[in-house]
Chain A
């Protein structure tokens, strides 16, 4: 039984695979985006010293990092509708259940990343912003976030890649994401290599695209006039007349 290229290409180009990949990407991106939104205020709470809010956030992080993701998925899909009858309605789809589970799960990890990023900044940065008359919100948006971002990006990209693969767990709640589609194709044909190979290509391409954007973002945050894409700053340099800059 040799490698059947036609099956491989057929799987790659199939609507089912494409839809599966789209569901995978949509789930990953939306869960991660919501997790980051949720994690930012939680991380800000953790930068305080103590208080009930700090304890609550620590409890949340501890619980959601401690329970297997698979169990969280199963719990939200099977058990939660028993507590909340509204969730028994048809709009509570496997996608929504997976989104809910993965968001809360990921937010626990992302909280720790954001907290570490915020803590890595010199408190003098905030002091300098406030001393210049910026409001605390302006300091956060224009001084703290851009610097914390640089620290947070590499671990956040790791989390994204991890989450991308974790979405395959959602096959247990019958979400038709990429790996579910793959397994179904394999089950009806026993062409393991071709169908798994096609899935593998999809995952690698998605991760490759992400890595490309990560690299570009990191370069933009290099904060140096020697950075490879310092084109904007070169324009700025041209815009400053030489007459202004002849003094030592």
Chain B
């Protein structure tokens, strides 16, 4: 396995006396694809937002590409310029056309000339297949197009790491497939990815490791095959069976039937098909 690019050691985060994260130890290798899942409120968003310091951790240490995240604003800037983030609600800037959404940071942070920024941005918009929407404003696009624009906006900064916080949770099934296609493409290109998602078919296909969280702790971390077929913790079993209760091939009576259920209900189709 290649060198670690993210290291979290004993990370804790509190909101008042409420512990949102407790003793998080996580190492992510360069090029690795990690999927994080877990019940609502389990701290998934908080964890990935600590990686680009949208949340400040209260204890423990975080290193991103050998730079420690602490109060030093230069370190924070260095890390943020290497880490892209995609949000559930897209968070495009509604007052700027799609193209300007993509060029804003190129101009302000990278100091690119407007023309160079435009060329670069159009390249990424083409890659996510929405170059023809470049001059439109975000609310004029469909949800799937908006999320792809948001991904392009992040990619423009040429990040080494991409963080996704439930990127498809606000989308309809067709848009979900569009966005997952783009993400699978990125994964194939070797991008280091940490992705909070409940798209389990997607997770099975691209994840090197699944992390299951509950009550601010990492309860389980395992390769997808192992996680879906034989989750070790009771909480993960319960979570998986609930997640799959209303999916295609019926409620799994035991965790052992879960993989079939996951695979057959995939809206997300990567060609080689699900083995259900």
- Produce 1/0 per residue, A235-248, CB < 8 A to B: 01100100011111
The interface stretch among B131-139, B179-187, B201-209 is B131-139
Q: Which of A128, A130, A138 contacts B93 (CB 8 A)?
A: A128
For the complex, is B224 an interface residue (Cβ under 8 Å from A)?
Answer: no
Chain B: minimal CB distance from A29 (Å): 26
Compute how far the CA of A221 lies from the CA of B94 in the bound complex, rounded to whole angstroms.
Answer: 10
Q: Which of A129, A147, A223, A236 contacts B135 (CB 8 A)?
A: A236
For the complex, is A225 an interface residue (Cβ under 8 Å from B)?
Answer: yes
Q: Is A133 touching B122 in the complex (CB atoms < 8 A)?
A: no
For A122, A128, A147, the residue with the greatest tally of chain B CB atoms inside 10 Å of its CB is: A128
Compute how far the CA of A136 lies from the CA of B253 in the bound complex, rounded to whole angstroms.
Answer: 51
Contacting residues, chain B, for A130 (C-beta < 8 A)? 52, 54, 80
Q: Is B97 touching A233 in the complex (CB atoms < 8 A)?
A: yes
The interface stretch among B84-92, B225-233, B234-242 is B84-92
Known: A240-B122, A244-B132, A245-B134. A125 touches B93 (CB 8 A): yes
Binding site for B on A (CB under 8 A): 122, 124-125, 127-135, 138, 142-143, 146-147, 150, 221, 223-225, 233, 236-237, 240, 244-248
Q: Is B83 touching A131 in the complex (CB atoms < 8 A)?
A: yes
Q: Is A132 touching B109 in the complex (CB atoms < 8 A)?
A: yes
Contacting residues, chain A, for B81 (C-beta < 8 A)? 133
Compute how far the CA of A237 lies from the CA of B132 in the bound complex, rounded to whole angstroms.
Answer: 9
Closest residue of B by beta carbon distance from A147: B95
Q: Is B87 touching A124 in the complex (CB atoms < 8 A)?
A: yes
Q: Is B126 touching A244 in the complex (CB atoms < 8 A)?
A: yes
Contacting residues, chain B, for A128 (C-beta < 8 A)? 85, 87, 91-93, 150
For the complex, is B71 an interface residue (Cβ under 8 Å from A)?
Answer: no
Contacting residues, chain A, for B105 (C-beta < 8 A)? 132-134
Chain A: minimal CB distance from B96 (Å): 8
Compute how far the CA of A223 lies from the CA of B97 in the bound complex, rounded to whole angstroms.
Answer: 8
Known: A124-B89, A132-B80, A135-B77. A223 touches B94 (CB 8 A): yes
Q: Which of B52, B91, B108, B140 contacts A122 (CB 8 A)?
A: B91
Contacting residues, chain A, for B137 (C-beta < 8 A)? 223-225
Interface residue range, chain B: 35 or more
Contacting residues, chain B, for A124 (C-beta < 8 A)? 87, 89, 91
Q: Is A225 touching B136 in the complex (CB atoms < 8 A)?
A: yes
For the complex, is B42 an interface residue (Cβ under 8 Å from A)?
Answer: no
Closest residue of A by beta carbon distance from B156: A132
- Produce 1/0 per residue, B16-53, CB < 8 A to A: 00000000000000000000000000000000010010
For the complex, is B6 an interface residue (Cβ under 8 Å from A)?
Answer: no
Q: Is A244 touching B131 in the complex (CB atoms < 8 A)?
A: yes
Contacting residues, chain A, for B131 (C-beta < 8 A)? 240, 244-245, 247
Compute how far the CA of A134 lies from the CA of B91 in the bound complex, rounded to whole angstroms.
Answer: 15
Q: Is A223 touching B139 in the complex (CB atoms < 8 A)?
A: yes
Q: Could you show 7 A-B contacts with beta carbons less than 8 Å apart?
A: A125-B91, A128-B150, A132-B104, A134-B109, A146-B95, A223-B139, A245-B134
Q: Is B109 touching A248 in the complex (CB atoms < 8 A)?
A: no
Chain A: minimal CB distance from B204 (Å): 28
For the complex, is B99 an interface residue (Cβ under 8 Å from A)?
Answer: yes
Contacting residues, chain A, for B136 (C-beta < 8 A)? 225
Compute how far the CA of A125 lies from the CA of B80 in the bound complex, rounded to whole angstroms.
Answer: 16
Q: Is A142 touching B135 in the complex (CB atoms < 8 A)?
A: no
For the complex, is B157 an interface residue (Cβ under 8 Å from A)?
Answer: yes
Q: Is A225 touching B77 in the complex (CB atoms < 8 A)?
A: no
Contacting residues, chain A, for B150 (C-beta < 8 A)? 128
Compute how far the CA of A135 lies from the CA of B76 in the bound complex, rounded to whole angstroms.
Answer: 10
Q: Is B91 touching A127 in the complex (CB atoms < 8 A)?
A: yes
Compute how far the CA of A225 lies from the CA of B97 in the bound complex, rounded to whole angstroms.
Answer: 9
Contacting residues, chain A, for B249 (C-beta < 8 A)? none
Closest residue of A by beta carbon distance from B78: A133
Compute how far the CA of A122 lies from the CA of B87 in the bound complex, rounded to whole angstroms.
Answer: 12
**Interface positions of B from 94 to 127, Cβ below 8 Å from A:** 94-95, 97, 99, 104-105, 108-109, 122, 126
For the complex, is B75 an interface residue (Cβ under 8 Å from A)?
Answer: no
Compute how far the CA of A225 lies from the CA of B99 in the bound complex, rounded to whole angstroms.
Answer: 13
Contacting residues, chain B, for A240 (C-beta < 8 A)? 99, 122, 131, 134-135
Closest residue of A by beta carbon distance from B54: A127
Q: Is B91 touching A224 in the complex (CB atoms < 8 A)?
A: no
Known: A244-B122, A245-B131. A131 touches B80 (CB 8 A): yes
Q: Which of B91, B109, B135 contacts A133 (CB 8 A)?
A: B109
Compute how far the CA of A177 lies from the CA of B46 in the bound complex, rounded to whole angstroms.
Answer: 58
Compute how far the CA of A125 lies from the CA of B154 in the bound complex, rounded to whole angstroms.
Answer: 14
